[in-house]
Amino acid sequence: MKPKPPFVYIAGAGPGDAGLLTMTTYKLLTEVADVVVYDRLISDEILNLIPENIEKIYAGKSCRNNHMTQDEINACLVEKANENKVVVRLKGGDPFIYGRGGEEALHLVENNIPFEIVPGVNAADGCSAYKGIPLTHRGLASSVRFITGHQQKGEPMSLDWKGLANDDTTLVIYMGLAHLEELSKNLITHGLPADTPAVAISSGTTKHEAACFAPLSEIFEKATKAELKAPTISIIGKVVGLAWKIK
């Protein structure tokens, strides 16, 4: 049932394949929304599901080019909701995993706009599953850590390298293509074996998916040679070696 406006849904669209949309998000896009504010990572396959009479606002951002700043996106959500509309803020993956969904939710709270969070399949789950990589596996990985490889321009990476260099843990690196060489070298320096299996996956779960497998010490060189493009997610850990058996 359509809520009484003003109302905002902050919804995850998954990593790209429209088949990974939740039923809730699908219904929001096709039956409920008056306005959809969407990210650059939303695939054409998903955008084509939205009826033509629904207003669509592109809020795409990348680390080098902002179509709308985060403050402008926040203001847009409030403005459109206050036009007595139901707004769907459509975000790639899951809105609460490196999606800045929390910031948008807090802004809605501050402006007294009712909202609901709709989770989505995150990139780590979707991309790993499509490549046959279990993020945890008995005897190989008892934990998973999600980290961001994106840093503010000019700032050094500040991570718990010693804690991350644990060969019983699977590391999933979001937005880390530009810093993959630095990430790999630091992990090896702090004790992670150089031959630890790794993979870089570009545009995972979509028809444009490309992947590069290599030992940790070679993954940056191989990914560069393969000319992988953003968005790219990297997975490092012994479980990556299972891809050849499970896929």
Cis amide linkage into residue 5, ω under 30° from 0? no
**Residue of 2, 27, 34, 39 marked catalytic:** 39
Phi, psi of 244 (to 5 degrees): -70, -25
Q: Give the count of beta carbons closer than 10 Å to the beta carbon of residue 51.
A: 10
Q: To 10 degrees, what angle do helices 101-110 and 70-81 make?
A: 50
Residue 167 appears among annotated catalytic residues: no
Distance CA 70, CA 106 (A): 13
Residues in the chain: 247
**Residue of 4, 34, 56, 61 marked catalytic:** 61
Q: Which residues pair with 95 in a beta bridge?
A: none
Residue 71 appears among annotated catalytic residues: no
Question: Is 67:48 a contact under the CB 8 Å cutoff?
Answer: no
Reduced to 3 states (helix: H, G, I; strand: E, B; else coil), residue 10 is strand
DSSP 8-state class, residue 3: P
Q: Give the count of beta carbons closer than 10 Å to the beta carbon of residue 143.
A: 12
Q: Which residues are catalytic?
A: 39, 61
